[in-house]
Structure 1
Amino acid sequence: MTVRFSSPVVPGRTPEGRAAARPALGRFLAPAVAGLVLVLLALTVVRLPWAGDLGMHAATVQRLRHSPLDPGNPLVDADTPSPYYSPWTLLLGTVARLTGLPVFAVLRLAAAAALVLLVTGVWRYVRTLSAHRAAPALALLSLLLLWGTTPFLWSGFLGLHSLALTVSYPSTFTLGLAFHFWAWLTRALRGAAGWGVWPALGVLWAVILLCHQFSGAVATVGAAAAFVGARPGRAVLLRAATALPAAVAVLWAWPYYDFFALTGAGDGLESIHRVLYGHPVARYGLVLLGVAALVPRWRRDHRDPLVVFFVLGTLLVSAGWLSGHYTWGRALSAAVIPAQLAVALEAFAAVRRRSRACWAALLTAALLLGGWAQAGAVGYVVPRSALPQVLEDRYRPPWPGYRWITPYVHYGDVVMAEGRPARQIPAYGPYTVAPGYPDFFLPDERRRTAVTGRYFAERTPPSERRRMEREYGVRWVVDRTGALDDTGLRAVARGPDGQVLYRVP
C-alpha cells in the first residue's frame, strides 16, 4: 500500500483561488482607497482653505443672512439682482440667520453636505450603469484622480486638488445634485414612471440651473444623453414632456434674478475662460484612457448613454473654441465625466477576462499617476512644515483672510480696495466700491472699476480722492501697494504682506 501525501491547498495558489481573489481585490481595494481619499476631502472641509471664489460665496451668504428678501448686490452697495442668489445659497443664508452661526461655519456645513451629495449621487448613477459592487468606488476614484499630470484648479471640475479648494462652492453641490438627477431620470426612462415624477424632475432640473448655471449645462447634456440611450417610447415621451413647463415655471418665477437674461452675460467672461482651453494634455491627458474605453462601449451599443454624453459634451466645448465663446469651456465636464466613468466601468464590463485585466491594469497605473499629480492636496490637512519637499512643491498655499480688519470695519461699511482684497473683504460683511468679480447686472461696473484704479494711482491728487470717497460713501481704504502713504488718510491697522487699513477722514 502506497501512501501519497498531497500538498496543502493555499488559497489564491490554484486557478480557482486566483479567480476568487481577483473579485475580492476589486471589491475591497477600490472602496478602501476611495474611503481614504474621502477622508482627505473631509479634513479639508475642516480647514476650508481660502482660494478663488470663496469670498464671493461667503459674501452672498452674508447678504441673505441679513436681508433674505432684499439682499441687494453681494459685493457693492447697490440694489441689483445677482445670479449668486440661488436656492442653495438662500438655504445657507437662512441657516446662518436662524442658528446665528458664523458664515464660514455655515460654509463648512455646506461643504460637508455637498461632499455627501456628490458621493451618493455618483453611487446612484453608476449603479444604473453597472451592477458590480466595486463600480461606484472605482468610478469615484476616476472622477477625482483621472485628469492630467498638472492639477487644474477651477470650480465645477472634480479633480481632487480642485475639489479640496472648491468643495464649499455651489458648483460642487450642483454637480452632486446632477448625478442624482441623472440616476432618477435614467430609472424613470427605464420604468413606468407616473405622471407626477416628470414635473418633479423638471423642478429638480430648474433648481440645478439656478444653483450653478455652468454645472446646469453639464446636467442638461447628461440628461439629453440619457434620453438618447433609453430609446423611450411615445407614452414615456408624452409624460416626460411635462417636465419642461415645470422647469420653465420655476426659472421664470425665481425672484432673485432673471435667469433668462443670463443668455447675454457671456461676452464679458470670454477672456477669463479662455484659459480652460490651454495646455490640454497636461491638464486632461489621462482622460484619453477614458476616451479609449468609450470605443468598446460604442461597439456594443451605438447609443450607449456615456458615449452620447461624451459626444454631446465634446461638440459643445469644441463649438466654444471655434466660435470664440470660451465660456462654453465651463461645460468641459460634460466630456470629461463620461470618459472617466467609462474607463472605470470597462474594468468590469469587458467581455473577455484578459481584456478586463488589461483595462484594470491601465486604470490602476493612470490613477497612481493622477493621484501623484494631485498629491499637493495633502498640504491642506498636514502642516506645511511636515510636507516633504516634493509635495510642498505641488502645494498651493491658501490665501490669508481679512479678519484683521473686522475689529474696525463693520457690516455694510464701504471699503476702497482693488485686486485680491476686493475679492475677499465682502466675505466679512463690508462692501467695496468696485466688484472683485465681473457683474453682469451692475450697470456702472466699468465706472466703478475705473474710479478704483484712479484712486490708487500715485499721481491722483488728494482732493480727487476725497471726492471719490464722498461719492461712494467710502469709510475705509485697504492699500497693499504703499501708494497712499502721506495722503491724509489715518492708518489704523496693518495686515499681512505690508497691507494697511486706513480710516477715511
Structure 2
Amino acid sequence: MHAAPSDTEPVSRAVPPTGTARAGRRLPGVAAALVLVLLLLVVVRLPWAGDLGMHAATVQRLRHDLLHPGNPLVDADTPSPYYSPWMLVLGCLARLTGWSVFVVLRVAALAGLGLLATGVWRYVRTLSPHRAAPALAFLSLLFLWGPLLFEWSGFLGLNSLALTVSYPSVFALGLAFHFWASLTRAVRGGAGWAVWLGLGAWWAAILLCHQFTGVVASLGALATVLAARPDRAPLPRLAGALALGLAVLWLWPYYDFFALFSAGADLEVIHRPLYTHLAARFGLVLLGVAALVPRWRRDHRDVLVLFFALGALVFAAGGLTGHYSWGRALPAALIPAQLAAALECVSAGRRAVRAGWACALGAALLVGAWTQAGTLGYVTGRDALPGAVAAKYRTPWVGYRWIMRAGVRYGDVVLARTGAARQIPAYGPYTVAPGYPDVFLPAAGARKTAVIRYFAAGTSTAERQGIVREYGVRWVVGPRDLAGRPGLRKVTGGPGGQVLYRVVR
C-alpha cells in the first residue's frame, strides 16, 4: 500500500513566509469563497434551463403519491429512472411542508452545493496536505474548461453548475467526492466489514440518484482501488461491498436499474454533441493533462492518472462505437486532469517549478472565468452587466406559470410541442408526449407522432379530435394561428406569442 500523501510530499526547509507569500496562499481560498457566495445567490434566483422542469415534475408526482407516482411527464402508469432516493427525500419534504416544488428545489440546490464543496475538500485532502490545495482544486473544477461556453448536467463548469445546481447530478457528484475520500481511507487504513458494506450501499445510491454520475463514481472507485495496491486481506470485504451495492440496485422498487442498459437510440442522438468542439469546450484541461505526466513519472499507478485513463478510454470507446451516451463519462477524464493541474502548483518539487505551474494555472483560470462571466447575470440580471459580459449571458427560460393562472390544474393533459412539454409538467399538468426520451414509456413514439400530426397544417379536424379524445387533452398550448380551429377556444396569451386554448367538447 501507498503511504499517505503527507509522507511522500517533497521536504522543504521551513522558511518563514513573506507577506506576499501569505497573500498568495490566501488568494485561492478567498476566490473560492467568493465563487461559493455567487452560487448561493444564484440559488435564490434558480435560473431555469435544461432539465429543471423534469426534476420539478418528479417532485410533483412524489408529493401527491409516494408509492405509485406514475410517469412524471405523461398520464401513464410507468416507472421512471428519475424516481431516485434523493428525489424521494425531496418528495417527502414537499409533502410534509407544503412548500412549492421550486422552494424544495432550492433546498436541493443548497444541499447539493454544500455536499459538493465539502466533498471536494475531503477528497483533495487525501491527495495533498497543502492548505491551498482544496481551494485551488475547486477553482480548477469550475474554470479549467475552454474558451467556448459549455453546459451539461454532471459537468462542473461554473455556468453549467449555476444552471444545474438543484439537479440530482450535483447531489450525486457531491456524494461521489465524499465516496472517493472515504474509499481512499478504507483501502489505506484496513477498514472493517461495516465500513465496506456502507461503501457498497453508498455506491448504489450514487448510481440510483444519477446514473451517469454513478458511472463516473465507479471509474473513480476502480482507480482508487488499483492505485492503492491492496493486499488480499480487504478483497473479501470489497467483494461484499460490491455484492451489497448490486443487491440495492436490483431491489430498488421505483424502476428497473438494469433495464437502462437497453436504452433506446434517442439517448445516443441527444449525446452526440458531446463529441463535437472538443478543443474549444475543453482545451484548457490540456494543462491538467500535462500535469498528469509528472505524476505518472513519480508513480505509474497514481490514482489521478488511472482515473483519467479510465475516463478517457470509456469516452473514446463511445465515440468509436457510436454509443454517444458513453460521453457522459467524460467528467471521469476531466476531473482528475483538473485536480492534477491544481495539485502541481503545491506539490511539484522545486519552488520555481511550482511557481511556473501556478502562473500557468492562474492564466488558464482567468480565461475560463472570462468565458463564464455571463453567470453573473443569473444574480444581477442582464441589464446590470457591462456590454462585453452581457454578450456572454444566456437568458433563462420564462416558464409556464401563466397557464396555471389561466385555469390549468394539476393532472390536466396539455398538448404542446417539445419546448413547452419540457416545462409544463413542472407545475403539475401532464403533456401528450414527453419532452425528454423515456426508456420506460412504450408508446413514446406514437405520442410524439400524435403531437406532430395535431400541429401539422394538413391534418383533418377529425384526426385532431381523435388525438384529443385518445389522450384526454383538455388544453392546447400553441401559436396564434390555431385560433378559430374547431374544438378550441382561446383563453389567454403568453410570452413569445404562445396562446393557451381550452378544448371544447
TM-score range, shorter chain: over 0.9
Q: Secondary structure at the match of 1:436?
A: coil
**SS in structure 1 of the partner of residue 414 of structure 2:** strand
Secondary structure (helix, strand or coil) at the match of 1:242 reads: helix
Residue of structure 1 equivalent to 2:415: 416
Give runs of aligned pairs for residues 367-386 of structure 1, distance below 5 A: 367-386=365-384
CA contact (8 A) 2:483 2:489 kept: no
Task: Report deviation, 1:460.
Answer: 1.5
Match of 1:356 in 2: 354
SS at match of 1:493: strand
* Structure label with greater radius of gyration: 1
Deviations 1:229-262 (A, max 9, x none): 1111100122211101110111011000000000
- 1:160 match: 158
Alpha-carbon distance in 2 for matches of 1:458, 1:276? 35
**1:290 aligned onto 2:266:** no
Query: In 2, are the aligned partners of 1:149 and 1:282 still within 8 Å (CA)?
Result: yes
Contact residue 483 and residue 490 of structure 2 kept, 8 A: no
Measured after TM superposition, the shift of residue 17 of structure 1 is 8.4
SS at match of 2:422: helix
The answer to whether the 8 A contact 1:26-1:134 is kept is no
> How much has 1:267 moved relative to structure 2?
2.7
Superposed, 1:342-491 pairs within 5 Å as 342-407=340-405, 408-479=407-478, 481-488=479-486, 489-491=488-490
* Number of the residue aligned with 1:501: 500
Q: Distance in 2 between matches of 1:400 and 1:60?
A: 20
Partner residue in 1 for 2:8: none
Q: Percent identity?
A: 67
Per the normalisation by structure 2, the TM-score is 0.95
Letter in 2 for 1:285: G
2:6: which partner in 1?
A: none
Alignment partner of 1:217 is 2:200 = no
Query: Quick one: distance in 1 between partners of 2:93 and 2:71?
Result: 20
Q: CA RMSD in A?
A: 1.3
Is 1:258 matched with 2:256? Answer: yes
Deviation (angstroms), 1:16: 9.9
Q: CA deviation at 1:91?
A: 0.5
Range that drifts further, 107-116 or 451-460: 451-460
Aligned residue in 2 for 1:186: 184
Deviation at 1:23, TM superposition (A): 4.4
Deviation for aligned residue 1:487: 0.2
Aligned length: 490
> Match of 2:198, as an amino acid?
A
- On the 8 A contact 2:55/2:426 being kept in 1, the answer is yes
Contact 1:214–1:330 (CA under 8 A) maintained in structure 2: yes
Partner of 1:8: none
Query: After superposition, what is the alpha-carbon deviation per residue over 1:64-121, rounded to whole angstroms, capped at 9, x for unaligned?
Result: 0101100000000000000000000000000000000000000000001000000000
Residue number among 168, 171, 178 corresponding to 1:170 in the alignment:
168
| Structure 1, unaligned runs of 5 or more | 1-14
The superposition leaves residues 158-182 of structure 1 with CA deviations (integer Å, 9 ceiling, x where unpaired) of: 0001111000111010000000000
Q: CA deviation at 1:309?
A: 0.2
Could you state the TM-score of these two structures normalised by the residue count of structure 1?
Answer: 0.95
User: Once the two structures are superposed, what CA deviation does each residue of 1:96-155 show, in whole Å capped at 9, x if it has no partner?
Assistant: 000000000000000010000000000000000000011001100000000001110110
> For the residues of structure 2 that align with 1:383 and 1:322, how far apart are their CA atoms?
42
Amino acid at match of 1:301: D
Q: Structure 1: how far apart are the matches of 2:15 and 2:295?
A: 30
Q: Report the CA distance between 1:25 and its aligned residue.
A: 2.8
Superimposed CA distance per residue, residues 20-50 of structure 1 (whole angstroms, 9 cap, x where no aligned partner)? 3454234311000001111111111000000
Q: Is this contact kept in 1: 2:150–2:160, CA < 8 A?
A: yes
Deviations 1:408-432 (A, max 9, x none): 1000000011121111000000000
Superposition deviation, residue 195 in structure 1: 1.1
* Residue type at the aligned position of 1:125: Y
Aligned equivalents of 1:134 and 1:224: distance in 2?
27
User: Could you tell me how far apart the structure 2 residues matched to 1:417 and 1:16 are?
Assistant: 68
CA–CA separation in structure 2 for the residues paired with 1:440 and 1:33: 42
Partner in structure 1 of residue 108 of structure 2: 110
Task: Check the 8 A contact 2:489/2:502 in 1, yes or no.
Answer: yes
